[in-house]
Amino acid sequence: MSSTVALQNMRAFYNNGGTRSYTFRKQQLKKLKQALLQHEEEIYEALYADLKKSREEAYLTELGLILAEIRTILKNLRQWMKPKPVTTNLFNFASSSSIYRDSLGVVLVISPWNFPLQLALMAAAGAMAGGNCVVIKPSELAPATAAILQKIITASFPPEYVCVAQGDGAEVVTEMMESFRFDHIFFTGSVGVGRAVYELAAPKLIPVTLELGGKTPAIVEADANIDIAAKRIAVGKYTNSGQICIAPDYILVHTSVKEKLLKALIKAIKSFYGDDPGISYDYGKIINKKRFDKLLNYLQQGNIVAGGRYTAASLFLEPTIMDGISLESELMKEEIFGPVLPVIPFETMEEALAVIAINPNPLALYLFTTDKKKEHAWISTVPFGGGCINNTLVHFSNPSLPFGGVGNSGIGHYHGKYSFELFTRPKAVLKSPTWFDPSLKYPSFKEKLRIIKMILR
């Protein structure tokens, strides 16, 4: 069956209205949860094959987050779906006003390779909660996970409700979008590809959510708890071998504590991954040779303080710390997306802000300080998607917080209730009684304008 026919079948299925009841949505989300648990071992095997993720990391950063998201949705979905009463102005006296949440229709979710299960299904679960039909396009660069994802979806749902589209991303997405108008597109990936998706969506005025990336700074002030900062930056940077869109991309550290921080970072890396991270159970690999070669090029652009060892055959690159880096280098102008961590000293906040301004609007920002005035100054001055104070990454794991970027790092946000709102639209409804029918609202208005002005002002 052609993709066009399959998508038309999804449209017909949605138009029949069966996806929109609370009972249906609840049943399908429970079915998804059960299927994930049923295939848990296969999920771990796939993530290990694609990215060398340990079972524990796979659960913490992929499966566990999806299960938590589904649990949050199921707990709150009935309440989220209820029409919300709002106030009504005096001009509409005796009427009542409500906001309904309408499903969108047929939604396309395009997911990346770095968290190939989680980033596909977190969005898909939100779309299902919104009462939509969903097409999932997983990354072909993580083929083992794409295969188990398709197995789970095919076994759990009819293809006219949820399906998986496999193949080359550019070809498959372009073909679908040329022949069909989706009601929303949710994309996670690089800025360049996100821009291309946006351009494809524009002629048909398709709403788009873009979860992109950027250069996320970790800022370490002189008053920070250095040992804690080092551990939390290291785990945020080297989890998944640094292949995380919200990983600390570089460190801005106050000159007075730079050497202390470097020593603490080296100590933290050793405590996490041992003397040889290449044989560590907890340390992964680079996704492919193209990405690996790009990361090796970065190693030539400064001084290697620690790490730098690599094995091409296994796509292993050791957790690496660098300094002495030019702000004009590729290393400081491109999202690193790997286990290479530049460290840049600063004396004043203005110096640090100038570095951030080279790559504005980061997806995340991590600030390490014990000073509330500094905390306020940084948070209120720098535009960024979301972040942490005295931590890294973990804001992503709280379903009560919206996740998304700003400017170059993305458009829109999701997680928890924010996903439900993303994959529905507000529908305004004003209900008027028939027992109250003032002549003031009917022509002629010539003698009524004074009274109308009094009411509306």
375 carries an active-site annotation:
no
DSSP secondary structure letter of residue 277: G
Beta bridge partners of 425: 102
Catalytic residue among 57, 160, 211, 318: 211
84-86: strand order across its sheet: 84-86, 96-103, 424-431
Using only the alpha carbons of the chain, give its radius of gyration.
Answer: 25
What is the CA angle 225-390-249, rounded to 5? 105
Q: Alpha-carbon distance 311 to 279, whole Å?
A: 11
Beta strands in 77-220 (DSSP E): 84-86, 96-103, 106-110, 133-137, 162-164, 184-188, 208-211, 217-220
Amino acid present at 324:
G
Question: CB neighbours of 119 closer than 8 A, spacing ≥ 6?
Answer: 111, 112, 188, 211
Cβ proximity of 105 and 11 under 8 Å: yes
211 carries an active-site annotation:
yes
Q: Alpha-carbon distance 76 to 421, whole Å?
A: 12
Cβ proximity of 301 and 215 under 8 Å: no
Three-class SS of residue 117?
A: coil
Catalytic residue among 133, 163, 245, 388: 245
Count CB atoms within 10 A of the CB of residue 69: 25
DSSP secondary structure letter of residue 426: E
Phi–psi pair at 349, nearest 5 degrees: -60, -35
DSSP secondary structure letter of residue 57: H
Beta bridge partners of 102: 425
Question: CB neighbours of 457 closer than 8 A, spacing ≥ 6?
Answer: none
With b meaning 16 or more CB within 10 Å and e meaning fewer, what string describes 372-391? eebbeebeeebebbbbbbeb
Looking at the annotation, which residues are catalytic?
Answer: 211, 245
